[in-house]
Amino acid sequence: MRITVTPKNVRSLLESLGQIVLPDKIRADDLTDEQLTAIAGLFDSWRPGESVEAGWIRNFNGQLYECLQAHTTQSDWQPPEVPALWVVKQAPGVIAAWVQPTGAHDAYSVDTEVTHNGATWKSLVAANVWEPGTNATLWEEVV
């Protein structure tokens, strides 16, 4: 049985996994590894030979990736190896820990929320590669 995961039903899926969710979003570090794995398992697996569109999310070895450009997947273009085609993605409604971007392909977009140094931050600019909390014009602390 396959479950279609959309941003609107992630909350109910998390609740069905035994996680009581009160806010609209939950921090990834509030979930167990088993819950994160279960969420990733709700998404279709990446496989070679599939025509994918930008914005589609695929599970590759337990990690979610978002497609950046429409293409047909192939075995030598696996998501971790092709940052021009795939970026690591957290499940909709789950706030991931901040990771230093390596370039434009994995920079944070406007309104993306991350956790860093015990706080939740929202990006105020597009293509944000700066560390949260270092510049008030780039990140806003979410209270």
- Percent of the chain at pLDDT > 90 equals 45
Q: What are phi and psi of 30, to 5 degrees?
A: -90, -5
Pairing label, strands 139-142, 119-123: antiparallel
Quote the DSSP letter at residue 108: B
Q: Phi and psi (nearest 5°) for 66?
A: -105, 135
Place of tokens 């560390």: 131
pLDDT digits (tens, 9 = 90+) for 20-62: 444 456 777 777 777 777 788 888 899 999 999 998 889 999 8
Domain spans in the chain, listed from the N-terminal domain onward? 98-143
Q: What is the mean pLDDT of residues 105-131?
A: 92
The pTM assigned to this predicted structure is: 0.63
Please enumerate in sequence order all residues whose Cβ is within 8 A of that of 9, keeping only pairs 6 or more positions apart, or say none. none
Q: 98-143: CATH homologous superfamily?
A: Carbohydrate-binding module superfamily 5/12 (2.10.10.20)
Q: Is the confidence at residue 129, as pLDDT, over 90?
A: yes
